[in-house]
Amino acid sequence: MVFRFDHNNINVTNLEKSMAFYKEALGLEPVRDIVAEDGSFHIVYLGDGEGKHCLELTWLRDWEKDHYDLGDNEFHLAFTVDDFDAALKKHKEMGCVCFENEAMGIYFINDPDDYWMEVLPPRK
């Protein structure tokens, strides 16, 4: 029996804003979507064009709050990037860098719903 990662899900309050962020910040593009017949939810799967693993963004029509309670926000996704310095510069210009750990050579960005994404240099 073999298990493989397929996708991770996060719920978002503004699907269009989140999709725009993930496209600009990380180059993720929609690969498929599901829309409930009654309009109660819209799910969009984003991919990097390289692997099969996707990020699932779920928008819920009846969500009544303007944000999600992320607790201590220890949950995060991690991305490697081929040009770490250029990525850091771009994310600083976007104003989405929320934490830098220079000693470890990594940083984090946060999306419109305050989910954190770790950015790593290429593995050696």
Grouped pLDDT means (10 residues each) for the chain, 124 residues? 85 96 97 96 96 95 84 79 96 97 94 93 85
In this predicted structure, what is the pLDDT of residue 94? 97
Residues 6+ apart with CB under 8 A from 27: 48, 49
With beta carbons less than 8 A apart as the criterion, state whether 47 and 28 touch.
yes
- For 25, phi then psi, to 5°, come to -75, -40
Residues shown for the chain: 124
In this predicted structure, what is the pLDDT of residue 10? 93
b/e string for 55-73 if b means 16 or more Cβ within 10 A? bbbebeeeeeeeeeeeeee
In this predicted structure, what is the pLDDT of residue 50? 93
List domains and CATH numbers for the chain: 7-61+75-120 (3.10.180.10)
In this predicted structure, what is the pLDDT of residue 16? 97
With beta carbons less than 8 A apart as the criterion, state whether 56 and 94 touch.
no
Q: Tell me the C-alpha distance between 105 and 119, whole Å.
A: 9
The amino acid that residue 25 corresponds to is A
In this predicted structure, what is the pLDDT of residue 15? 96
In this predicted structure, what is the pLDDT of residue 88? 97
Q: Write the CA distances from 54 to 37, 51, 65, 72, 124, integer angstroms.
A: 23, 8, 26, 24, 24
In this predicted structure, what is the pLDDT of residue 73? 61
